[in-house]
Structure 1
Amino acid sequence: MAAHKFDRVTLLITHYNRSKSLEHLLKRCAEEDLEFEEVVISDDGSRPEHLDYIKLLQTHYKFRLITTPVNKGLGNNINKGQDAVKTQYTLYVQEDFEPTPDFAPNFMNAVKLMDTEEWDLIRFYTFPWAPFPYLKDYKFGYSKMLFKPELWYLNHLKFRLYSDHPHLRRSIFLEKFGRYVEGQRGDPTEYAMCMNFLTKGGKALMFQGPDLFLHEHGALEPNTMVRSKWKLSNSIIIKMARSLYLKGKVVNSTLKYNKLKQ
């Protein structure tokens, strides 16, 4: 029997053309002696060689594979994966993450908070170059994520209470906040859910110790989601232009938020 067994929780993994990364994630869960009531892998129309490898993995790891004949994008992949979940809670993880040794005891506290309080989302990771700006210490190493709608709070990341990074959520998430937008790229899909989460009064916590997941720690396969190089440039001119762009984005997002709230 696993040392860390989480009944009432399904591990939902979204996957696309990164079967070696998926194997690494499953291996790390086994190494950390994590066991969930069920593991669901939602595949987004990967190439045959990746699907064949996933089916081979089923001889070593216990999971249910949900597939689609063609690639339909992130929104569809999460929707169909969440639809397949039968438990009270969902731990959502993309295939290029892995749990750290600190995950299990802190995840136990996350489930306890879900059981006893009214949280919709509890997050375990954030990109180091994009930390959420407004946090308030809470308990068990978690902080409340505070949304400050006033325009003078100019950090554009304030709209990102929701994130596709590893998190625990109630499995009725889609019923409360709506389904993910389908047919768009990953970033617009995530942004649309961010706005849904905010306008429907979502409440979220974030772990404030060291991240409980590592991202692409093994870097086993190329990332299937490529962002524009200019966003990562060190040019002073580009950085200034990006700063102005982001301030304008705050204004636009605030107007959209207010419109959706009406």
Structure 2
Amino acid sequence: MNQFPSVSLLITHYNRSRSLHNLLNAFSNLNCTFGEIIVSDDGSRPEHIEYIRQLQEQFNFRCVTSERNRGLGNNLNKGQDVVSKLYTLYVQEDFIPMPLFIERLGMALHHMERDQKIDLVRFYSYIPFPYSRPYDEHFSKLLFKSFGIKYNKLHMYSDHPHLRRSNFFEKFGRYKEGIKGDVTEYNMCLSVIQNKGEVLFHRDYRALFKQVNTSDEPSTMIRNKLRYSNFFLLKWGRDLFRQIKFNYDIHFKRLKKNRS
């Protein structure tokens, strides 16, 4: 049995209860247990709430709900508010842990217990982080370079699976509510940089989790296609805009931290 009594598993959920089942079942199959499991639901449809109730009988977790969809920021805040353990493993419901994750979670937890300066350990990404230095055999420490030309230096924080201290809000503030999910994530990226967050990153960033979106339960995040087009002129203009905006926001956009 792989036991992590000091870790709360926090899962955000919205209208993908079968995906939630797959995630919980994957941890169970890996014989992985946590101090507690919190599912934070963002006003899902009744059939999903009913299925979650059935899952509670099997997996013994606490579900905090909302009467309507209030967005990613609210869902993260209300879930984190009920966490009672020292560390929070945050995973969205459409991810599945791979067998190697259990070993690396133990390593990440050891690093955070030993080094109180580490705020966050990231386990997954779509792309590598541009600036870092080795921390151990498997993890790197992310470096923020003020004048680094690669604008994805912004993403020291990510909503992808990560381990963090449960007092995360004390240093970085709460998630911004009432705005789009990608803007919520963007603001937390700024806060982590501006408040000098210490972040570790698993170098083999596709080895620990896989993201699964099915036709029955597709991604609920709606994005503007122009933002991800590879057409040369659009990509060039987008990259130039991001380079200017991201660096301006990092250095001059000061966020008011709400800890309440």
TM-score, with length taken from structure 2: 0.93
CA–CA distance in 1 between the matches of 2:151 and 2:136?
26
Q: From the superposition, tell whether residues 218 and 36 of structure 1 become closer, same or farther in structure 2 (CA, over 3 Å).
A: farther
Question: Are 1:181 and 2:176 matched, yes or no?
Answer: yes
Alignment match, 2:146: 149
Alignment match, 2:212: 216
The one-letter code sitting in structure 2 at the alignment partner of 1:253 is D
Residue 9 of structure 1 deviates from its aligned partner by: 0.4
Matches within 5 A, 1:153-164: 153-164=148-159
Alignment match, 1:133: 130
Residue 252 of structure 1 deviates from its aligned partner by: 2.5
Identity of aligned residues (%): 47
2:69 to 71, 94, 110: 71
CA–CA distance in 2 between the matches of 1:169 and 1:191?
17
Matches within 5 A, 1:75-114: 75-114=73-112
Residue 218 of structure 1 deviates from its aligned partner by: 5.6
Q: Tell me if structure 2 keeps the 8 A contact 1:109–1:140.
A: no
1:248 to 231, 244, 247: 244
Give a deviation string over 1:42-75, Cα, whole Å, max 9, x none: 0011111111111111121111001111111111
Residue 260 of structure 1 deviates from its aligned partner by: 6.1
Residue 208 of structure 1 deviates from its aligned partner by: 0.7
Q: Tell me if structure 2 keeps the 8 A contact 1:155–1:250.
A: no
The one-letter code sitting in structure 2 at the alignment partner of 1:244 is L
Q: Tell me if structure 2 keeps the 8 A contact 1:156–1:247.
A: yes
**Structure 1 residues 163-172 or 202-211, which shifts more?**
202-211
Which residues of structure 2 form unaligned runs of 5+? none
CA–CA distance in 2 between the matches of 1:37 and 1:255?
39
SS in 2 for 1:60: helix
Give a deviation string over 1:175-199, Cα, whole Å, max 9, x none: 1211111100011101111111111
Alignment match, 2:7: 9
SS in 2 for 1:80: helix
Residue 220 of structure 1 deviates from its aligned partner by: 5.1
Residue 160 of structure 1 deviates from its aligned partner by: 1.2
Give a deviation string over 1:99-148, Cα, whole Å, max 9, x none: 011100111110100110020000000113xx211111111410000001
SS in 1 for 2:44: coil
2:230 to 220, 234, 239: 234
CA–CA distance in 2 between the matches of 1:217 and 1:101?
20
Residue 84 of structure 1 deviates from its aligned partner by: 0.4
CA–CA distance in 1 between the matches of 2:182 and 2:205?
25
The one-letter code sitting in structure 2 at the alignment partner of 1:85 is V
Give a deviation string over 1:139-173, Cα, whole Å, max 9, x none: 141000000112xx121111111111100001000
Alignment match, 1:122: 121
CA–CA distance in 1 between the matches of 2:171 and 2:121?
16
The one-letter code sitting in structure 2 at the alignment partner of 1:226 is I
